[in-house]
Each structure stands twice: as C-alpha cells, then as structure tokens.
C-alpha cells in the first residue's frame, strides 16, 4: 500500500477507534485512490488526503421537544459538513435510532465523491438525529422537526448547505422543517430539497435514486457487450423503501423481472416477478399501509424467507437497496456462484470490503453506491437549479436530465478506471470502484489545491 494512503488510514483508525463505519468508508476510498496519488505528487505535497478525511465542520446539538402526553423528550441532532470545495454542502438528513457520528461521517465522506460525480456544483455533507419517527403522531413529528430546525437553521442556507431527506425523512418531515426555516428567516429560498411540488419541489425526485441505479446497471451491461441490457434479465432487489420501490418500477419498464424484495423481517421470492397488480399491491403496502413484506407473500401465495436476505436466489442482476453492509463475504460468494453478472448498489455502502473484492475478482460488473445511487442527489441538484431560476421542468425533462447524468457518471467512471486501473480486464468489464472514486476525487482535490490551505 502507498505509504501516504496507509498513514492516513492508520491515523483515522487511531483517532476515531469507535467509528467503524467511517473507518470502513475511508479505507475503501483511499485504497482505491493509490494510482491517482502516485500519479499526482501535488496531492501528497498539499496533504489533500489528510485534509479530505476531516470534516470542515461538525455540529452536534440538543433537540428538546414535547410529545402528545406532554412529556419532554431529548434527542441529539447532527450536521457533518464535510467538504465544500466545489459547491454548497449537500446531503440528506436521517432520523433513525441508529444514527451516530460514525454513520453520518461515513455517509458525508461518501457524499463528497458522489456529488462530484454528478457534474453539478455540490459539496458533501450528512446529518440527522437519533429520533425514531415510527409510531409517532403527525403532531409529534412536527414538534420534533420544528425543534430540530430551531438549531440547524444557523448552519444552512441555499448557498451554504442544502439538506435533503434520507431514512426517516420524507416529504412530511421536509415540509415541517422548511416551514420552520421559512418562519425563522422570513425568506422563501431553496434551502431544502425533496420539497412538495406545490412549494418548490421537483418532479421525479422520489423516483430518482431507484431510476438512476437502474440506468447505471443498463450502462454497465452495455459496456460489457450486452446490448439487451436489462431486458429479459432476472433481478433480485433488497429493501422495500423508496429506492427499492422505484428500482422495481424501472426494471419492469426496461423489460427485466424482479423476483425479490425484502424488509427488516424477511424476503419474499416471487419467481413470476413483482409486476402488474402485484407491483401495485407492493406499492400500496409500503407507501400507504406501511405494512410488512410478509403480507405480499400471504396475498399471492409466494415464498417468504423470514429473517433472510435475497442473496441466495439465483439472478442475473443483484441490486442491494436496503442498508449498509447487507452483502457480506458469504453472500457475495453465493451471488457469484449463482451466475450473477452485475451487482449495483442502490443503498449506501451495502457491500462489505470482502464482498466487493469477491465481485471484482470474479468478473462481476460492480456498480459502487457513490456512482450507482447518485441519481437521488443529482435530482436534488436539479431541484436546486429550478429553485434558483424560479421555474419547474416537466417530468419528462427532469427524467431525461437524470438519465443523461447517469450516463455521464458511468462514462466518467469507466474511462477513469481504464486510465488508472493497474490490472485492466480486456472484456469491457471495469473496476468501477477505482473509476468512481478517482473521478470524484480528482475534481475535489484540484479545487482544494486551487483555493489554498483552508
């Protein structure tokens, strides 16, 4: 390993021994940057690696709010503003009991390179709270969101930091936070994305991450000489939230067959495919009734694998769209053994380092999350542009722009991998981990050097 890279990774491990997720993200990214570091000594001279792994600002604050029983509750709020060298901080807010500084730092660090890959002017950030919105009333969620924004407003703005939604933060929560920000600032600005269509939101934003990941798979397949793309392919998808829902929809539109979806309790296996009336039931179950995926199995008489992930099911394409580290070494070996030709990450860091190594060594086309799931933040960037111009594009215009961004991300990652991969394959399969990480990094690193030691 390159000495500079090794030293930075060891420094992070020693400085933040309890932040395992952040350590994993830094290790994965920095190891893949070695060819770029060796080719560009100016990055070492300017200590870009040492600077890029430390957030520019980390804000931690108390959130006190009152529930429906008139009891005062205390949660912790965070905003990790990681890097703003190429634009205002941009990244989601997550409300979930598992939220910690380690998880937000890993997400914010990844966001730097993901946002860079979109070609839009956006820096990297992430934030949220250990608040659990499940089983809370609308009034309780409103009170929490208002209390959260009462502190966060000091650190954000349309030209400073533009948060969006993430796990536990949808249109309802964005609305409550935007209203409170507008009240405090006495200004109507595009300070948050994921807003309602009636008050500054963009078409296609809910669909963007799932659609974008599917477009990325399509490009990977074409790059390896498969002109049919997704058409006729069997696809396993994990998760049943926003990303998974619209990945299923776009796979269906492109002629593929999705045979699995899952939630935290288990996985359904439907060999006929989650399409037609079954897809309608799935969307109603998860978007309106907030039910469990087992109800799909009960309704249609298909197999339900309690407590299990989808990765034992044979497929052509696997799309992990649930959460981090959901594909481990044994899962990856099973996926490869079953003949899968492409894995595309709809979630953030859903594959462990050991799993990624197996995919790359086996010749599976592997789309890392920072490239493959960049459609969500890309559409957020398009919402920012529409807000700045006080206009709104049609759904068709937004989706075409999103599709073009995903094609460009793939092209950039593919060409960069071709240039920097020390062990390139001759068959059109590329190491998209190296390609995406280096392509995203180069833009940010050059901007950091140009702007001086800050």
Q: Looking at 104-194, which runs of residues are DSSP E strands?
A: 123-129, 161-165
Q: What residues contact 219, with CB distance under 8 A and at least 6 apart?
A: 406, 407, 410, 411
- Asked whether 93 and 175 are in contact (CB, 8 A), the reply is no
Exposure class string for 124-154: b at 16+ Cβ within 10 A, else e: bbbbbbbbebeebeeebbbbbbbbbbbbbbe
Which residues face 257 on adjacent strands? Answer: 234
* CA separation for the pair 211, 376 (Å, rounded): 9
Pairing of strands 317-320, 234-238: parallel
- Asked whether 381 and 208 are in contact (CB, 8 A), the reply is no
Encoding tokens for residue 396?
A: 């068709």
Max CA separation in the chain (angstroms): 66
Encoding tokens for residue 219?
A: 């490009």
- Asked whether 281 and 296 are in contact (CB, 8 A), the reply is yes
Pairing of strands 161-165, 303-306: unpaired
Element of type H or E holding 94: strand 89-95
* CA separation for the pair 21, 106 (Å, rounded): 6
Element of type H or E holding 404: helix 395-420
Helical pair 101-117 and 432-450, crossing angle rounded to 10 deg: 90
Residue 66 phi, psi dihedral angles, 5° rounding: -110, 130
126 assigned to active site: yes
Burial of 337 (0-12, 13-18, 19+ CB in 10 A): exposed
User: Active-site residue among 105, 126, 233, 443?
Assistant: 126
In three-state secondary structure terms, 14 is helix
231: left (phi over 0), alpha (psi -120 to 50) or beta: beta
Burial of 44 (0-12, 13-18, 19+ CB in 10 A): middle
* CA separation for the pair 77, 60 (Å, rounded): 6
How many Cα atoms occupy the beta-carbon half-sphere of 288 within 13 Å?
A: 6
Positions marked catalytic: 126
């Amino acid at each position: 390993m390159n000495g500079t890279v090794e030293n930075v990774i060891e420094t992070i491990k020693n400085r933040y021994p309890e932040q395992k997720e952040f350590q994993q993200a830094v290790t994965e990214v920095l190891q893949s940057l070695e060819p770029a570091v060796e080719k560009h000594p100016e990055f070492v001279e300017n200590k870009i690696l040492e600077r890029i792994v430390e957030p520019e600002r980390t804000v931690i604050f108390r959130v006190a709010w009152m529930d429906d029983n008139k009891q005062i509750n205390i949660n912790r709020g965070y905003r990790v503003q990681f890097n703003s060298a190429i634009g205002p901080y941009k990244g989601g807010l997550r409300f979930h009991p598992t939220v910690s500084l380690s998880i937000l730092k890993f997400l914010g660090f990844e966001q730097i390179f993901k946002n860079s890959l979109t070609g839009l002017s956006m820096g990297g950030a992430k934030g949220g709270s250990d608040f659990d919105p499940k089983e809370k009333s609308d009034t309780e969620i409103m009170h929490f969101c208002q209390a959260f924004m009462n502190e966060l407003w000091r650190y954000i703005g349309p030209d400073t930091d533009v948060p969006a939604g993430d796990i536990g933060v949808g249109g309802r929560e964005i609305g409550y936070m935007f209203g409170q920000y507008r009240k405090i600032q006495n200004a109507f600005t595009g300070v948050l994305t994921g807003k309602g269509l009636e008050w500054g939101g963009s078409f296609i934003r809910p669909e963007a991450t799932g659609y974008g990941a599917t477009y990325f798979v399509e490009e990977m397949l074409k790059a390896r000489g498969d002109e049919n793309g997704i058409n006729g392919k069997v696809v396993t998808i994990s998760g049943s939230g926003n990303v998974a829902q619209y990945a299923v929809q776009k796979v269906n539109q492109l002629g593929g067959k999705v045979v699995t979806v899952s939630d935290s309790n288990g996985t359904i296996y439907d060999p006929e495919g989650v399409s037609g009336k079954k897809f309608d039931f799935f969307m109603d179950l998860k978007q309106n009734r907030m039910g469990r995926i087992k109800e799909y199995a009960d309704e249609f008489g298909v197999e339900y694998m309690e407590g299990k992930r989808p990765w034992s099911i044979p497929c052509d394409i696997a799309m992990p769209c649930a959460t981090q580290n959901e594909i481990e070494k044994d899962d990856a070996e099973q996926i490869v053994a079953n003949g899968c030709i492409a894995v595309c990450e709809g979630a953030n860091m859903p594959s462990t380092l050991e799993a990624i190594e197996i995919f790359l060594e086996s010749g599976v086309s592997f789309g890392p999350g920072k490239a493959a799931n960049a459609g969500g933040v890309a559409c957020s960037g398009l919402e920012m542009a529409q807000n700045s111009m006080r206009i709104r594009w049609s759904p068709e215009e937004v989706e075409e722009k999103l599709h073009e961004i995903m094609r460009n991300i793939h092209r950039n990652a593919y060409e960069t991998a071709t240039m920097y991969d020390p062990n390139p394959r001759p068959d059109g399969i590329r190491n998209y981990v190296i390609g995406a990480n280096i392509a995203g990094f180069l833009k940010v690193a050059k901007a950091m050097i140009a702007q001086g030691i800050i």
